[in-house]
Amino acid sequence: MKTSGNLYNMISLQPIELPVFNPVALDLLQLLAEPDIMYFEVIRTIKQDEALSAQVLKMSNSTSYIGRIKCETIENSAIRLGTQQIANIAIAASHASQHSSDNPLVNEIMQDLWLHSHACALGCRSIALKTGHQSFADHAYMAGLLHDIGKLYLLKALERICTTTAGFILDAEALHDVFSDMHVEFGCLIMDCWNIPRIYRNIVAHHHAEQSDSTDFLLAIVRVVNFSSKQFNVSQYPTKSLNQNMETEISALQLKESHVSALESVMTGIKGEES
Protein backbone atom coordinates (compact mmCIF):
# COMPACT_ATOMS: atom_id res chain seq x y z
CA MET A 1 0.00 0.00 0.00
CA LYS A 2 1.28 3.45 -0.91
CA THR A 3 0.87 6.63 1.10
CA SER A 4 -2.13 8.61 -0.14
CA GLY A 5 -1.47 11.86 -1.94
CA ASN A 6 -3.57 13.70 0.64
CA LEU A 7 -1.47 12.47 3.56
CA TYR A 8 1.75 13.22 1.66
CA ASN A 9 0.54 16.78 1.08
CA MET A 10 -0.40 17.19 4.74
CA ILE A 11 3.07 16.08 5.83
CA SER A 12 4.75 18.29 3.22
CA LEU A 13 2.98 21.32 4.69
CA GLN A 14 4.52 20.79 8.12
CA PRO A 15 7.51 22.99 9.04
CA ILE A 16 10.82 21.34 8.22
CA GLU A 17 12.21 22.89 11.43
CA LEU A 18 10.26 20.48 13.66
CA PRO A 19 12.55 19.55 16.60
CA VAL A 20 14.47 16.42 15.64
CA PHE A 21 17.82 17.73 16.91
CA ASN A 22 18.73 19.11 20.31
CA PRO A 23 20.64 22.44 19.92
CA VAL A 24 23.64 20.96 21.75
CA ALA A 25 23.63 18.00 19.37
CA LEU A 26 23.72 20.37 16.39
CA ASP A 27 26.70 22.20 17.89
CA LEU A 28 28.50 18.89 18.48
CA LEU A 29 27.81 17.67 14.95
CA GLN A 30 29.45 20.81 13.60
CA LEU A 31 32.43 20.34 15.93
CA LEU A 32 32.81 16.75 14.71
CA ALA A 33 33.03 18.04 11.15
CA GLU A 34 36.19 19.98 12.05
CA PRO A 35 39.49 18.26 11.10
CA ASP A 36 40.87 18.72 14.64
CA ILE A 37 38.17 18.18 17.22
CA MET A 38 39.03 20.02 20.45
CA TYR A 39 38.58 18.28 23.81
CA PHE A 40 37.74 21.46 25.75
CA GLU A 41 35.22 22.66 23.16
CA VAL A 42 33.36 19.34 23.27
CA ILE A 43 33.29 19.30 27.09
CA ARG A 44 32.13 22.92 27.27
CA THR A 45 29.36 22.27 24.75
CA ILE A 46 28.06 19.18 26.55
CA LYS A 47 28.07 20.89 29.95
CA GLN A 48 25.80 23.67 28.68
CA ASP A 49 22.92 21.25 29.32
CA GLU A 50 22.91 19.79 32.85
CA ALA A 51 20.29 17.14 32.11
CA LEU A 52 22.22 16.06 29.03
CA SER A 53 25.47 15.89 31.01
CA ALA A 54 23.85 13.52 33.51
CA GLN A 55 22.54 11.30 30.73
CA VAL A 56 25.95 11.24 29.03
CA LEU A 57 27.54 10.03 32.26
CA LYS A 58 24.89 7.34 32.62
CA MET A 59 25.38 6.10 29.06
CA SER A 60 29.17 6.24 29.13
CA ASN A 61 29.18 4.11 32.29
CA SER A 62 26.91 1.46 30.75
CA THR A 63 28.13 -1.92 29.52
CA SER A 64 27.50 -0.89 25.90
CA TYR A 65 30.31 1.64 26.22
CA ILE A 66 32.72 -0.58 28.16
CA GLY A 67 31.77 0.95 31.47
CA ARG A 68 33.81 -1.33 33.71
CA ILE A 69 35.43 1.66 35.42
CA LYS A 70 32.80 4.15 36.51
CA CYS A 71 33.48 7.80 35.79
CA GLU A 72 32.03 10.61 37.87
CA THR A 73 32.65 13.51 35.48
CA ILE A 74 32.27 14.24 31.79
CA GLU A 75 35.97 15.06 31.67
CA ASN A 76 36.96 11.63 32.97
CA SER A 77 34.57 9.92 30.56
CA ALA A 78 36.14 11.81 27.65
CA ILE A 79 39.63 10.79 28.77
CA ARG A 80 38.59 7.14 29.02
CA LEU A 81 36.54 6.90 25.82
CA GLY A 82 38.08 9.62 23.67
CA THR A 83 36.80 13.04 22.71
CA GLN A 84 34.98 11.94 19.57
CA GLN A 85 33.20 9.05 21.25
CA ILE A 86 32.03 11.15 24.19
CA ALA A 87 30.68 13.67 21.66
CA ASN A 88 28.90 10.82 19.89
CA ILE A 89 27.39 9.63 23.17
CA ALA A 90 26.19 13.16 23.92
CA ILE A 91 24.52 13.37 20.52
CA ALA A 92 22.93 9.97 21.11
CA ALA A 93 21.72 10.99 24.57
CA SER A 94 20.17 14.18 23.21
CA HIS A 95 18.68 12.22 20.31
CA ALA A 96 17.04 9.79 22.74
CA SER A 97 15.23 12.67 24.43
CA GLN A 98 13.52 13.56 21.14
CA HIS A 99 11.80 10.16 21.01
CA SER A 100 8.76 10.83 23.17
CA SER A 101 5.18 11.90 22.50
CA ASP A 102 1.88 12.41 24.31
CA ASN A 103 0.24 10.42 21.51
CA PRO A 104 0.37 6.76 22.70
CA LEU A 105 0.82 5.24 19.22
CA VAL A 106 3.44 7.78 18.17
CA ASN A 107 5.27 7.38 21.48
CA GLU A 108 5.37 3.59 21.16
CA ILE A 109 6.83 3.79 17.67
CA MET A 110 9.28 6.48 18.73
CA GLN A 111 10.59 4.18 21.45
CA ASP A 112 10.99 1.36 18.92
CA LEU A 113 12.75 3.76 16.55
CA TRP A 114 15.18 4.82 19.27
CA LEU A 115 15.98 1.20 20.13
CA HIS A 116 16.64 0.47 16.45
CA SER A 117 18.75 3.60 15.90
CA HIS A 118 20.84 3.10 19.03
CA ALA A 119 21.38 -0.58 18.26
CA CYS A 120 22.45 0.30 14.72
CA ALA A 121 24.86 2.95 16.01
CA LEU A 122 26.56 0.44 18.30
CA GLY A 123 26.43 -2.25 15.63
CA CYS A 124 28.02 -0.03 12.98
CA ARG A 125 30.86 0.88 15.31
CA SER A 126 31.38 -2.80 16.13
CA ILE A 127 31.56 -3.83 12.46
CA ALA A 128 33.94 -0.96 11.65
CA LEU A 129 36.28 -2.06 14.42
CA LYS A 130 36.05 -5.76 13.57
CA THR A 131 36.62 -5.35 9.82
CA GLY A 132 39.71 -3.16 9.91
CA HIS A 133 38.01 0.22 9.53
CA GLN A 134 38.97 1.61 12.92
CA SER A 135 39.74 5.01 11.40
CA PHE A 136 36.08 5.76 10.90
CA ALA A 137 34.50 3.71 13.68
CA ASP A 138 33.15 6.87 15.31
CA HIS A 139 31.71 8.04 11.99
CA ALA A 140 30.10 4.61 11.63
CA TYR A 141 28.45 5.04 15.03
CA MET A 142 26.98 8.40 14.04
CA ALA A 143 25.90 7.12 10.62
CA GLY A 144 24.02 4.26 12.26
CA LEU A 145 22.41 6.64 14.73
CA LEU A 146 21.16 9.08 12.08
CA HIS A 147 20.31 6.82 9.10
CA ASP A 148 16.57 6.85 9.91
CA ILE A 149 16.31 10.50 10.98
CA GLY A 150 13.58 10.92 8.38
CA LYS A 151 11.33 8.61 10.40
CA LEU A 152 11.67 10.80 13.48
CA TYR A 153 10.71 13.85 11.44
CA LEU A 154 7.69 12.04 10.00
CA LEU A 155 6.56 11.03 13.49
CA LYS A 156 6.89 14.63 14.68
CA ALA A 157 4.94 15.82 11.64
CA LEU A 158 2.17 13.26 12.12
CA GLU A 159 2.00 14.07 15.82
CA ARG A 160 1.44 17.71 14.89
CA ILE A 161 -1.21 16.78 12.31
CA CYS A 162 -3.05 14.71 14.94
CA THR A 163 -3.31 17.74 17.23
CA THR A 164 -4.20 20.31 14.56
CA THR A 165 -6.51 18.39 12.21
CA ALA A 166 -10.00 17.49 13.41
CA GLY A 167 -10.98 13.89 12.74
CA PHE A 168 -7.48 12.76 11.74
CA ILE A 169 -6.86 9.21 12.96
CA LEU A 170 -3.46 7.57 12.72
CA ASP A 171 -2.97 3.82 12.63
CA ALA A 172 0.12 1.60 12.67
CA GLU A 173 -0.31 0.36 9.09
CA ALA A 174 -0.55 3.90 7.75
CA LEU A 175 2.60 4.77 9.68
CA HIS A 176 4.47 1.88 8.07
CA ASP A 177 3.42 3.07 4.61
CA VAL A 178 4.54 6.61 5.41
CA PHE A 179 7.91 5.33 6.61
CA SER A 180 8.43 3.12 3.56
CA ASP A 181 7.51 5.80 1.05
CA MET A 182 8.85 8.99 2.60
CA HIS A 183 11.54 8.59 5.25
CA VAL A 184 14.53 8.80 2.90
CA GLU A 185 13.18 11.87 1.11
CA PHE A 186 12.40 13.75 4.30
CA GLY A 187 15.57 12.54 5.96
CA CYS A 188 17.58 14.23 3.22
CA LEU A 189 15.54 17.42 3.62
CA ILE A 190 16.29 17.40 7.35
CA MET A 191 20.01 16.92 6.78
CA ASP A 192 20.05 19.81 4.30
CA CYS A 193 17.93 22.06 6.53
CA TRP A 194 20.24 21.68 9.52
CA ASN A 195 23.46 21.61 7.47
CA ILE A 196 24.50 18.19 8.80
CA PRO A 197 27.87 17.00 7.40
CA ARG A 198 27.56 15.44 3.95
CA ILE A 199 29.06 12.14 5.05
CA TYR A 200 25.87 11.44 7.04
CA ARG A 201 23.50 12.86 4.43
CA ASN A 202 24.90 10.32 1.97
CA ILE A 203 24.00 7.51 4.38
CA VAL A 204 20.44 8.80 4.78
CA ALA A 205 20.06 9.07 1.01
CA HIS A 206 21.39 5.63 0.05
CA HIS A 207 20.88 3.19 2.92
CA HIS A 208 17.92 1.62 1.06
CA ALA A 209 19.25 2.01 -2.51
CA GLU A 210 18.87 -1.04 -4.77
CA GLN A 211 22.58 -0.90 -5.55
CA SER A 212 25.41 0.77 -3.67
CA ASP A 213 29.03 1.72 -4.24
CA SER A 214 31.15 -1.23 -3.09
CA THR A 215 34.02 1.17 -2.33
CA ASP A 216 31.93 3.17 0.15
CA PHE A 217 32.71 1.14 3.25
CA LEU A 218 30.78 3.42 5.61
CA LEU A 219 27.60 2.98 3.60
CA ALA A 220 28.23 -0.76 3.32
CA ILE A 221 28.46 -1.02 7.11
CA VAL A 222 25.20 0.84 7.68
CA ARG A 223 23.37 -1.21 5.07
CA VAL A 224 24.55 -4.53 6.52
CA VAL A 225 23.75 -3.52 10.09
CA ASN A 226 20.33 -2.12 9.18
CA PHE A 227 19.56 -5.32 7.27
CA SER A 228 20.75 -7.45 10.19
CA SER A 229 18.51 -5.59 12.63
CA LYS A 230 15.55 -7.62 11.38
CA GLN A 231 17.29 -10.91 12.04
CA PHE A 232 18.22 -9.75 15.55
CA ASN A 233 14.73 -8.37 16.28
CA VAL A 234 15.82 -4.77 16.79
CA SER A 235 13.96 -3.53 13.73
CA GLN A 236 10.67 -1.69 13.93
CA TYR A 237 9.09 -4.10 11.48
CA PRO A 238 10.84 -7.47 11.88
CA THR A 239 8.09 -9.29 9.95
CA LYS A 240 8.43 -7.01 6.91
CA SER A 241 10.98 -8.16 4.36
CA LEU A 242 13.65 -5.85 2.99
CA ASN A 243 14.02 -6.15 -0.76
CA GLN A 244 17.81 -5.91 -0.59
CA ASN A 245 20.72 -8.19 -1.33
CA MET A 246 23.74 -7.69 0.90
CA GLU A 247 26.22 -9.86 -1.03
CA THR A 248 28.11 -6.84 -2.38
CA GLU A 249 28.46 -5.29 1.07
CA ILE A 250 29.38 -8.57 2.77
CA SER A 251 32.09 -9.17 0.18
CA ALA A 252 33.42 -5.60 0.35
CA LEU A 253 33.68 -5.73 4.15
CA GLN A 254 34.98 -9.32 4.15
CA LEU A 255 32.48 -10.15 6.87
CA LYS A 256 33.12 -13.33 8.81
CA GLU A 257 30.78 -15.39 10.95
CA SER A 258 32.60 -14.16 14.05
CA HIS A 259 31.88 -10.56 13.04
CA VAL A 260 28.17 -11.32 12.70
CA SER A 261 28.13 -13.08 16.09
CA ALA A 262 29.75 -10.05 17.71
CA LEU A 263 27.24 -7.80 15.93
CA GLU A 264 24.32 -9.81 17.30
CA SER A 265 25.71 -9.59 20.82
CA VAL A 266 26.12 -5.82 20.59
CA MET A 267 22.72 -5.13 19.02
CA THR A 268 20.64 -7.43 21.20
CA GLY A 269 22.52 -6.58 24.39
CA ILE A 270 21.13 -3.07 24.34
CA LYS A 271 17.55 -4.21 24.99
CA GLY A 272 18.10 -4.74 28.71
CA GLU A 273 19.73 -1.33 29.09
CA GLU A 274 16.88 0.45 27.33
CA SER A 275 14.16 -1.18 29.44
Per-residue pLDDT of the chain (275 residues; tens, 9 = 90+): 455 668 888 999 999 888 889 899 999 998 888 777 788 999 999 999 999 999 999 998 888 886 567 888 999 999 888 999 999 999 999 999 999 999 999 999 999 999 999 999 999 999 999 999 999 999 999 999 999 999 999 999 999 999 888 888 888 888 888 888 899 999 999 999 999 999 999 999 999 998 878 899 999 999 999 999 998 999 877 555 555 678 899 999 999 999 999 999 999 988 766 65
Taking a C-beta distance cutoff of 8 angstroms, is the pair 64, 93 a contact?
A: no
58, 116: one domain = no
The reported pTM is 0.90
Amino acid at 274: E
158, 83: one domain = no
Taking a C-beta distance cutoff of 8 angstroms, is the pair 79, 49 a contact?
A: no
200, 157: one domain = yes
Instruction: State which of 97, 114, 147 marks the end of a domain.
Output: 97
**C-alpha Rg value of the chain to the nearest Å:** 18
| Domain limits for position 71 | 22-97
Q: How many domains does the chain have?
A: 2
106, 222: one domain = yes
55, 131: one domain = no
| Count of all residues that appear for the chain in the document | 275
Of the candidates 149, 219, 156, which has an alpha carbon nearest to the alpha carbon of residue 188? 149
Quick count: other Cβ atoms within 10 Å of Cβ 245?
11
User: CA-based angle 159:160:165, to the nearest 5?
Assistant: 105
145, 225: one domain = yes
Instruction: State which of 49, 68, 97 marks the end of a domain.
Output: 97
Secondary structure (3-state) at 180: helix
Instruction: State which of 97, 115, 136 marks the end of a domain.
Output: 97
138, 215: one domain = yes
105, 241: one domain = yes
107, 204: one domain = yes
Ramachandran bin of 166, using left for φ above 0, alpha for ψ from -120 to 50, beta for the remaining angles:
beta
93, 118: one domain = no
Secondary structure (3-state) at 199: helix
